[in-house]
Amino acid sequence: MAPPATDASRVKAQLATTRATLAVAGIPLPWLDAEILVAHVLQSSRERLHSHPERRLTVAQRARLRRLTSRRAARVPVPYLVGEREFYGHMFRVTPAVLVPRPSSELLVELAIDWLKTHPKARRVIDLGTGSGAVAISVAKAIPEVRIEARDVSARALRVAADNIARHRLRRRITTIKGDLLRGAKPADVILANLPYIPEALRKVRPKELKYEPALALDGGKDGLSLIRTALAQAPAVVKPGGLVLFECDPAQTRRIVRLAQGHWPAADVSVHKDLAGLDRVVRIQT
């Protein structure tokens, strides 16, 4: 007969141990990450952890939790550990081949959806730098008539995007394209761009978690605008007259992007929009 399980094997104790380990490692929200990791190991919800704190973890589950906790303490992003991330109310598979979807990018989705709802004849969208496909899929699920071209230079990222597109049953409406920004793109009503925008000078001081994310999706060249500048130059030949162009960026870059946009579209309505944290996040160009 196996020895009885100790209190240390119960959910409540495992949560406390995991939280303490992460706190010592300096993880910003140790309680939240502890809940996510324990729930993942148990294939449970975070809510169920608190309603059943007496539940016991097996020896194998505790060993797996320790390994995951150790990796999180080393600053591996939680979505890479559990293999998924929620974005705009939907779940997406993520791997180290793609950037972890951020809440700040939901503004890109909201602005696109709002515009598409008031322009029923505009239904062709390009998602530039699609990564996991989270932005494209979120827009497609909100606007059933839309057709989206999800573009990325990374074949590995596009495989993750294609998997997410299939999981959300959107293969007929979203096409993945491996390409260099907008080169060769067909005319579109809307262009959504979430391109790398971290300047060279900030690479050494950025959060430790970012070293696990693909550099291709982060590094924006010397001033952070290398790819954005090129895409802005290409966009006038792709976006249809009266169309919409949205660029996500760092708050410190918005003024420069506005000036660049006004240079390409002198008569356009160019505005800056804040994310949920109150930071300038998206430059909106109504051509």
10-residue averages of pLDDT along the chain (287 residues)? 64 95 95 96 92 92 96 96 96 95 94 97 96 98 97 96 98 96 96 84 68 71 83 96 95 93 95 94 96
Cα(268)–Cα(126) distance, integer angstroms: 19
Give the model's pLDDT for residue 210. 75
By C-alpha distance, which of 170, 128, 123 is closest to 147? 123
pLDDT of residue 7: 84
In 3D space, the residue among 247, 284, 123 whose CA is nearest the CA of residue 188 turns out to be: 123
Q: Out of 3.40.50.460, 3.40.1360.10, 3.40.50.150, 2.60.120.370, which CATH number does the structure's domain 99-286 have? A: 3.40.50.150
Tell me, what's the pLDDT at 217? 67
Which CA distances in Å does 273 have to 94, 198, 252, 279? Answer: 27, 19, 13, 8
Domain with CATH 3.40.50.150 in the chain: 99-286
> CA–CA separation, 93 vs 134, rounded Å?
9
Fold exhibited by the domain 7-74: Helicase, Ruva Protein; domain 3 (1.10.8)
> For position 205, what pLDDT does the model report?
62
C-alpha pair distances (Å), 247 with each of 107, 197, 255, 270: 10, 10, 12, 11
Residue pair 53/44 in contact by the 8 Å Cβ criterion? no
pLDDT computed for residue 232 by the predictor: 96
Q: What are the Cα distances from residue 282, in Å, to 19, 46, 257?
A: 35, 32, 10
pLDDT at 1: 44
Q: What pLDDT sits at residue 223?
A: 76
CATH 1.10.8.10 positions along the chain are 7-74
pLDDT for the residue 245: 98
pTM equals: 0.90
CA 109 – CA 116 distance, rounded (Å): 11
Residue 213, pLDDT score: 72
Single-letter residue type at 51: S
